[in-house]
Amino acid sequence: MRSLKLVERIKSYPVVFVGGIDTDIGKTVCTGILARELGRSGVRIITQKLVQTGCEGIAIDLLEHRKIQGLDLYPEDKAGITCRYVYPYPCSPHMAADLADEEINVDLITQDTQTLLERYEMVLLEAAGGLAVPITHELSILDYIAQQAYPLVLVSGGKLGSINHTVLSLKACEQANIPVLGLIYNRYPLQDVLIARYTEAYLRDYLQVHHPQTEFFVVEQEQY
């Protein structure tokens, strides 16, 4: 990643949402890397997880963020402010909440973000799954980003299907008037060299033609 350039592009925003074209695309690692580089540049930064599924206790993605940052857990992690909703079943948030006989109140998530902004200069807010994933039965992640008017960093990759998922995600953001500050192309793990090379080339060209305001960045394995 040309991390310094991306850091400079996003550091003026108090909240930046980190979303992905799909689940397991590398959002957590990219969020951690961005937080690490923002911290090194002097920004008082903290990460937040929208909803965590597939674990119990402190959100596993926050643990990964802190590992990448080289930091211990924040007090806000231990207090549940950086991830209020954690569910054991690995599925979409609305389903996980149903299985736990709970309701996700997105207003409380927004309040947590504001609490963090009272203590830190910037919050990186990581999604759960892709942009169309339902948080509740009525509200998707895309809806929430649009409601809050957050700018987005979108994480993509080189697996088969990434072109389709990336283009559709960008079109959805355009329709919802969500500014996409950067597209992070995650090169790891490498599954098929030829597909990955063609996917990266296509997405670079696509951004230049259709989204020239969105910058293209790359994450390599050694940055993990």
Contact 165, 133 (CB under 8 A): no
Closest CA to 154 of 132, 169, 172: 169
For residue 189, cis peptide bond before it (omega within 30 degrees of 0): yes
Could you tell me the CA-to-CA distances from 223 to 30, 69, 128, 191 in Å, in that order?
A: 9, 11, 22, 18
DSSP state of 74: P
Query: What CA–CA distance (Å, rounded) separates 82 from 6?
Result: 23
DSSP state of 72: P
Query: What CA–CA distance (Å, rounded) separates 65 from 188?
Result: 17
Query: What CA–CA distance (Å, rounded) separates 219 from 137?
Result: 34
Catalytic residue (choose from 5, 11, 27, 49) = 49
Residue 49: active-site member = yes
**Residues with a known catalytic role:** 49
